[in-house]
Amino acid sequence: MARVKSCLSVLLLFLAEGFSQLVRTQQVVTATLGEDAHFSCRLMRPKDVLQVTWQKVTPGAIENVATYNKRFGPVVNPPFKGKVEFEDEGLQNCSIIIRGVSRGDESCYKCLFNAYPDGAISGRTCLRVNELYGPSLLITQTNNSHTTLSCSATGRPAPIVTWEDSEILENFTIADVTHPNGTVTVTITATVAAFSLPDKDTMVRCVVSSGGAIKQRSMVIPARDQASFAGQSQVSDDDWISDAVAGSVGHTNLQSTNQGHTNLQSTNQGHTNLQSTNQGHTNLQSTNQGHTNLHSITNDHTNLQSIPNVTVPQYDAAQEVEK
């Protein structure tokens, strides 16, 4: 009896492998948050196919996403309408597109060719969603002889952050923070000595990459004869910074430069360092469990407050479109 069960298991495994070899599809599809993901599925041998079905496979559940047959044509089920579209419609080759992928779309997907008399012949593809926010730049004068530059980016997988055109930069340091949502913030910091600055403004560029996505941003270091760097700083994408660090566990650095009215809120467990260079009215609010250090260089009115029980606003990462 045991021998019969063993032979039956081998036969079923052989049939499954044989059917899987009949379908050509991608093993993994990778897309950056907000981009489109393309899934292809093709039979390697002609079969008498009655219908093709795409399914989303999640732990403990399988959802029918879309179907195609000759009688009804392409049909996308209600939960996926406006999200999923057919790219190729056919009984031998059937491809779909997931528009503007989000974290919720990260899963495995099956295409099933319901053929006669073979039954269901399927292929399987898994979607991996990468995220990349930033970069954000900050330049501050630490003292009369040196200036500090930093560049931060948050992503999944952890982004690679580098300086380009950085001949005058020195003392490079890199720090990273892993957040509960699986993203990682990487910050690269460097200094520049005042005596090494040329007589004209110098452009430096920060380049970040994660999962195939690449973004960059530039900043200008004022010429040597300018009296001060105060007020010359540049920061972008404040929203992704506050979202990425909200509720983080570990050592976190928030850096922001604003011109106008600004309200930064952060809830952290660990050591938090908020740095801000502002021209205008500034209100920094922080609720922390641990040590808090607020630094501000301003040319106007400044109000630093530490307020308990502050609710941190969340930012929809899918809105990040800059590349």
Examine the pLDDT at 295 and tell me if it is beyond 80.
Answer: no
For 179-195, what is the mean pLDDT?
91
3-class DSSP state for residue 194? helix
Residue the block writes with tokens 């039979």: 43
Examine the pLDDT at 277 and tell me if it is beyond 80.
Answer: no
Q: Both tokens of residue 76?
A: 């996308």
pLDDT value at position 236?
55
pLDDT value at position 163?
93
3-class DSSP state for residue 289? strand
Examine the pLDDT at 50 and tell me if it is beyond 50.
Answer: yes
Segments of the chain assigned to CATH 2.60.40.10: 2-117, 131-319
User: CA angle at residue 149 from 314 to 200, to 5 degrees?
Assistant: 130
Contacts of 251 (CB under 8 A, 6+ apart): 175, 177, 270, 271
Question: By 3-state DSSP, what share of the chain in percent is helix, strand and coil, each rounded to 5?
Answer: 10, 55, 35
Q: Both tokens of residue 212?
A: 């195939």
Pairing of strands 61-69, 146-156: unpaired
Examine the pLDDT at 253 and tell me if it is beyond 50.
Answer: no
User: What is the architecture of the domain spanning 2-117?
Assistant: Sandwich (2.60)
Range with the poorest average pLDDT among 156-160, 212-216, 304-308: 304-308
131-319 has CATH 2.60.40.10 classification: yes
For 103-114, what is the mean pLDDT?
96
pLDDT value at position 88?
92
pLDDT band at 25 (very low <50, low <70, confident <90, very high): very high
Chain centroid offset of residue 112 CA:
31
Q: Both tokens of residue 34?
A: 């907000």
Paired residues of 122 in beta bridges? 112
CA 223 – CA 305 distance, rounded (Å):
35
pLDDT band at 7 (very low <50, low <70, confident <90, very high): very low
Task: Pick the more confident residue, 308 or 202.
Answer: 202
For 164-170, what is the mean pLDDT?
82
pLDDT value at position 175?
96
User: CA angle at residue 231 from 186 to 323, to 5 degrees?
Assistant: 40
For 134-152, what is the mean pLDDT?
85
What's the chain's average pLDDT? 73
Phi, psi of 315 (to 5 degrees): -120, 135
pLDDT value at position 202?
81
Examine the pLDDT at 9 and tell me if it is beyond 60.
Answer: no
pLDDT value at position 233?
54
List, for residues 199-252, the tens digit of each pLDDT value. Answer: 778 888 999 999 888 999 998 877 766 545 444 455 455 444 434 433 333 334
pLDDT value at position 294?
34
pTM for this prediction:
0.59
**Among residues of the chain, what percentage have pLDDT more than 70?**
62
Range with the poorest average pLDDT among 126-140, 162-176, 248-262: 248-262
CA 269 – CA 291 distance, rounded (Å):
9
Examine the pLDDT at 300 and tell me if it is beyond 70.
Answer: no
Q: Which of 56, 65, 47 has the alpha carbon at shortest distance from 110?
A: 56
